[in-house]
Homo-oligomer: A and B are copies of this chain.
């Protein structure tokens, strides 16, 4: 089910700035029944994104009411909240008093296999590099052509994700998940001041891990890591089994974070 500005509706005006310019933000949120364990973090990131893009932030309570309405009766669901700067005169200039378009759409939860969480996922090493744009880095905005092009680099269904680097050869993230490496026993996740999306599960892990470094992670260092895993607020903790032909084994940090994920209240399809 889908709500546009609170009304059951599945269309928007073709002049919405979300469509014209990608002028907006989104969140993709996993729900278990009527519960969304990472909801406060999603709302925090959305508010931060609104401030960065000068978009009036909707009330979290209103979004939650709409989330419940959209997902009603679904045992498991993925909710997408999209906020755009609405309509305005033609051209890049922001309207003086924007009327935000608010889209809340529920999707069935995709099937996740236990083997994926037990054995890990294979990654393609993407040729597409993430551009550096400090003004957009970290937030989950609607300009996602880089991810679309990166995801189009492989079609083998046995490959779950792609590893993206920046122009300097630092590993940054997967196309739709954040990245952690364990280097010399210490978890490291790439800094996201110049590119990438600061995921909400990444934020959770940064608080949970007793020791963790946030810094640039050169690809060669990433590929030499003792352990590699992805995190996504929809898919949870995914150990990495291979990046191209470089093989990894799921390690203790990934296992501990999978246990933490289950403890948050998400289902236990994970190893």
A264 lies within 8 A of chain B by Cβ: no
In contact, A22 and B145 (Cβ under 8 angstroms): yes
> Are B135 and A133 neighbours in the complex by a CB distance under 8 Å?
no
A20 within 8 A of B: yes
CA distance A13 to B12 in the complex (A): 6
**Which B residues touch A32, using CB under 8 A?**
none
Q: Is the CB of B23 within 8 A of A152?
A: no
Q: Tell me the complex Cα distance, A105–B142, Å.
A: 22
Residue A224 CB within 8 A of the other chain: no
Contact of A92 with B132 in the complex, beta carbons under 8 Å: no
The verdict on A112 contacting chain B, using a C-beta distance below 8 Å, is no
Looking at the complex, which of A76-84, A207-215, A238-246 is the stretch in contact with chain B?
A: A76-84
Tally chain A residues at the interface, Cβ within 8 Å: 55
Q: Is the CB of A167 within 8 A of B132?
A: yes
CA of A13 to CA of B11, assembled, Å: 4
Partner of A2, one of B14, B90, B147, B152: B14
Rounded to whole Å, the gap between the CB of A232 and the closest CB of chain B is 11
Given the known inter-chain contacts A10-B15, A14-B2, please indicate yes or no for A147 contacting B21, CB distance below 8 A. Answer: yes
The interface residues of chain B lying within 8 Å CB-to-CB of A2 are: 14-15
A86–chain B nearest beta-carbon distance, Å: 12
> A2 → chain B, closest Cβ, in Å?
6
Given contacts A14-B105, A19-B84, A82-B19, contact A149 B176 (CB under 8 A): no
A26 at the interface (CB under 8 A from B): yes
A159 → B minimal CB distance (Å): 11
Interface centre among A17, A90, A151 (most CB of B within 10 A): A90
Contacts of A90 in B (CB 8 A): 78, 80, 107
A41 within 8 Å of B (CB atoms): no
Distance in angstroms between the alpha carbons of A87 and B42 in the assembled complex: 25
A128: interface (CB < 8 Å): yes
List chain A positions with a Cβ less than 8 A from chain B.
Answer: 2, 4, 9-23, 26, 53-54, 78, 80, 82, 84-85, 90-94, 103, 105, 107, 128-129, 131-133, 135-136, 141-152, 167, 175-176
